[in-house]
Amino acid sequence: MTAAHDAARALFTDLTGREPDGLWSAPGRVNLIGEHTDYNDGFVLPFAIPQRTVAAVALRDDHRGRVLVGSTFASEPVEVALDELDRLFPTAAGAHPAVPEWAAYPLGVAWALRQAAEDASGFAGLDIAIASDVPVGAGLSSSAAIEGATASALDELWGTGLDGTALARIGRRAENEAVGAPTGIMDQMASMLGEPDTAIFLDCRSLETELVPLGVAEAGLAILVIDTRVKHAHSTGGYRERRASCELGASIMGVPALRDVTVADLPRAQDLMDDVTFRRVRHIVTENQRVLDTVQVLREHGVRAVGDLLVASHASMRDDFEISTRELDTAVDTALAAGALGARMTGGGFGGAAIALIEQDAVDAVSQAVTTAFAAAGFDAPLLFTVTPSAGPRRDA
């Protein structure tokens, strides 16, 4: 058990005066490559990380139709009637949810799970307490970890019997329609389907997955996360604007999604589009190809050979999609100068974290170089830690 498990259990007892029925947890994720391709029906290659969100949950035997949710990140719990969730959600596009945003994640899962059930009339009320050691706002999908832990608990306690992919869909619906964040399904699938020492090669159109061995430790390497501590929020404008540009580009090209545009189509796209729309499209099209290339390189040559693809991905996000920041660029450039095989920002951008693929014995040196560079630039000190590909959701107690 971790400190997050202890915190979730303690909060549950403080809120309810009793013990939870169980503790469920789900991981955050790092996206090795494939950024903003998920909502374009494209390809992604994430993996689950050791940092997890824990939900302490119990069915209620009083006030049968109510749900109480608390979090160590919030000073006050939120309590609503289960039947009221249908009034609270879905959240209008671009609007703030009708409850505090942190509460919209677990409550949105409860709402989406009830919506998906053939008969939710027998679903009892719930008490939920949440704690996490996934850094919030770092691009490591703390939101999907909340959704995964909550969905796993409710699936068991309500007896819905859904598989990991179905629960990932529940999480995405909660994020899209309860929180109002226009994200794709990559984060939820990575959190729900993670396995040790593997990345998840996901086709976001078909939701077909393939586990791709990474062998990071076996190759003598480590993956360093550099959390810039510049917070971001997917429900705000920059992410939404990028998605709108992608939808416009697909419409101009006459295809259902940018998944259907190839690198060979880019000259025609450039003739048809304004410069900004074209550069947004070019990022998605080339990033999809980079995911496919990375999977092939991993299979044929191993993880040591993917560094250049990570670097090219970051350049595309910086220049074409324009979602990087000075802090992220400093993290990537400094890690590469200090000997990283590859580095890139990870997550939705506008802040958050970068990852660097480095030699195991260079973790301290690269970390120190990045810390020194941030201080010299006048940035807040970054949070640095290594991650290993890890397991998906589970019941821990």
* pLDDT tens digit sequence for 332-369: 999 999 999 999 999 989 999 999 999 999 999 999 99
pLDDT of residue 63: 59
Label the pairing between strands 66-71 and 78-81. Answer: antiparallel
Question: In the structure encoding, which two tokens stand for residue 229, read together?
Answer: 């501590």
Q: HEC string of 138-173?
A: CCCCHHHHHHHHHHHHHHHHHCCCCCHHHHHHHHHH
Distance in angstroms (rounded) separating the CA atoms of residues 166 and 271: 41
pLDDT of residue 61: 85
Distance in angstroms (rounded) separating the CA atoms of residues 341 and 293: 17
Q: Which residues pair with 342 in a beta bridge?
A: 357
Distance in angstroms (rounded) separating the CA atoms of residues 353 and 347: 7
pLDDT of residue 92: 76
Question: In the structure encoding, which two tokens stand for residue 370, read together?
Answer: 């990045």
Rg (CA), the chain: 21
Express each pLDDT in 129-151 by its tens digit.
Answer: 999 999 887 888 999 999 999 99
Half-sphere exposure of 118 (CA within 13 A, CB side): 4
Cα–Cα distances in angstroms (integers) from residue 337 to residues 62, 108, 118, 251, in the given order: 60, 43, 56, 41
Q: Is 119 a catalytic residue?
A: no
First vs last C-alpha separation in the chain? 9
Segments of the chain scoring below 50 in pLDDT: 235
* In 38-90, beta strands by DSSP E: 43-59, 66-71, 78-81
Query: Residue 181, class by beta-carbon neighbours within 10 Å (0-12 exposed, 13-18 middle, 19+ buried)?
Result: buried
pLDDT of residue 343: 98
Q: Which residues pair with 71 in a beta bridge?
A: 130
Whether residue 189 contacts residue 165, with contact meaning beta carbons closer than 8 Å, is answered with yes
Whether residue 84 contacts residue 50, with contact meaning beta carbons closer than 8 Å, is answered with no
pLDDT of residue 181: 85
| Torsion sign (Cα): 284, 35, 93, 163 | positive
Counting residues of the chain whose pLDDT is more than 70, the rounded percentage is 97
pLDDT of residue 185: 92
Alpha helix (H) ranges present in the chain?
A: 3-16, 85-88, 101-116, 142-158, 164-173, 186-193, 237-253, 266-272, 275-301, 307-319, 326-337, 363-377
Distance in angstroms (rounded) separating the CA atoms of residues 380 and 194: 32
Distance in angstroms (rounded) separating the CA atoms of residues 328 and 249: 27
Label the pairing between strands 126-132 and 353-359. Answer: unpaired
What is the SS3 assignment for 358? strand
Catalytic residue among 21, 187, 227, 396: 187
**What 8-state DSSP symbol labels residue 314?**
H
Is the omega angle on the peptide bond into residue 90 within 30 degrees of 0, that is, cis?
Answer: yes
pLDDT of residue 120: 85
pLDDT of residue 29: 96
